[in-house]
Amino acid sequence: KTYGTHLILDETELQPGRLNSVGVENAKLLKNLLECQKVAYDFQYYKMEMATDAQMLIFSEEKSNIMPADLVVPFQPSQVNSLQVITPETAEAWRCYLATCKSLSNSIGEELQQVLENDLVELRQTGRSSGSRDLSR
């Protein structure tokens, strides 16, 4: 299993049009990576899926039509041509911090579990829920 992999997809350069069969297959593989954290390998005579731990960041002009996203964050810089230099030490400190946060254990108390359960039931009743996937997010 690979750990700490980061994949950045830049959709800002995509042109309108149709995906060919290879593009459709690649989009399916990326979606499987994003949703199931599995990478499919084709060894010519057989295919095999392997577990991974990859984080994806997708740059797009709007919500991606190709890749599902758990979270969409609009980017609106206050200054267009502002360049802030980040030292290698600062970047490394942020990497360590984020890696540590990801590895920490977490738990939800009974009170919050009940709140989440009630919210999920309400979403299902209104038809806006896909079940456990929503709860996981």
Those residues with Cβ within 8 angstroms of residue 100's Cβ, 6 or more apart along the chain or in another chain: none
Tell me: the pLDDT tens digits for 85-95? 778 898 889 88
Q: Is residue 100 part of a domain?
A: no
Structure token digits, residue 24: 């459709």
Number of domain units in the chain: 2
Q: Of 28, 45, 63, at which residue does a domain stop?
A: 63
Domain that holds residue 34: 1-63
In a domain, 68, yes or no: no
Q: What is the pLDDT of residues 66-106, one digit of tens each?
A: 777 777 787 776 766 666 777 889 888 988 887 788 778 87
Q: Is residue 76 in some structural domain?
A: no
Is the whole model's pTM more than 0.75, yes or no?
no
Local confidence band at 111 (pLDDT 50, 70, 90 cut-offs): very high
Q: Is residue 93 part of a domain?
A: no
Q: Quickly list H helices, the chain.
A: 21-36, 88-103, 110-125, 132-136
